[in-house]
Amino acid sequence: MLSLKLPRLFRIDQVPQVFHEQGILFGYRHPQSSATACILSLFQMTNETLNIWTHLLPFWFFVWRFMTALYVTDIQNDSYSWPMLVYMCTSCVYPLASSCAHTFSSMSKNARHICYFLDYGAVNLFSLGSAIAYSAYTFPDALVCSTFHECYVALAVLNTILSTGLSCYSRFVSMPRPQCCSVITKVIGFGFCLTWPFLKTICSFKHLQLFLFPGESSRNEAMLYHQKHMVMTLLASFLYSAHLPERLAPGRFDYIGHSHQLFHVCVILATHLQMEAILLDKTLRREWLLATSRPFSLPQIAAAMLLCIIFSLSNIIYFSAALYRIPEPELHEKET
């Protein structure tokens, strides 16, 4: 009979510091796991298992929603629907990237960093997809065709590129730096590590303008979804930063119920609510928006996405290559 031996798990004191999670004491995978062992860990209860499945299962749900939207959309002639398709595509990318990052992050120290670099890039790509959809369907009446509206996606592209770069850079804060800039880099890096979840939350509140500029076309069934999305995003940011409840009871929530799992659930629920709100706005405001503003052209959407992808990948490649330029003894000494 064929027997399957699952990988051994470790305590926090048995793995390098780079793998440590605050308040998580048990359930760590081998810090140099093979790709096969990483995949097998999907079917073993570790402190990462639910982190993986809470994004892997929703990925298939979002793929189904995306394929359904493609089936009922005339892609060639319905330019009004293009931003929605871009948004739904990016909403499939980030859960898959996140689940892969959590799956393969135990292969090595450098692999862990690179996995999360890619995760950051996917999350920020999704933020750009959200911005394109908000600009197309959710902007308040008072700001449609305004200068701010015209510059909105360009600002979102800049925000996405900077966010990816700073997110990747923040993982280097604890690594050795030249003496002349060590204080500055640590302040910037740690400050960004602590505040970026809240900054991303605020940046994602494009629909907050609906409350500041209430108009006839914004008072629709989508408002309730927008409000729920705001609440869920705030909760996700709080959980990401607070490390609750495991910080209050270390070792009690190693496998089920720690903050990153709850954060994943809140993020997925927030995305679902956001998607419903955008689809409602797209349908209910179609006539008014087509009469008032111009739909995005294909070159505009393609340029925004390509700029984001090119510069974000450049950041990821640069920081990934930098990992291998840092002497291993210094890294080991710093971790110790």
pLDDT at 211 (0 to 100): 52
What HEC string does 242-285 produce? HCCCCCCCCCCCCCCCCHHHHHHHHHHHHHHHHHHHHHHHHHHC
The C-alpha angle 193, 195, 196, rounded to 5 degrees, equals: 70
- Chunked mean pLDDT (size 10), the chain, 336 residues: 70 94 95 94 95 97 96 90 96 97 96 94 93 90 85 89 86 54 45 44 46 52 86 89 91 94 95 94 92 90 95 93 74 45
pLDDT at 328 (0 to 100): 59
**Amino acid letter, residue 85:** L
Cα–Cα distance, 245 to 122 (Å, whole number): 27
Backbone φ and ψ for 287, nearest 5 degrees, come out as: -60, -45
pLDDT at 193 (0 to 100): 45
User: Which residues, including other chains, have CB under 8 Å from residue 322's CB and lie 6 or more apart?
Assistant: 172
Cα–Cα distance, 120 to 108 (Å, whole number): 18
pLDDT at 174 (0 to 100): 54
Cα–Cα distance, 275 to 272 (Å, whole number): 5
pLDDT at 4 (0 to 100): 63
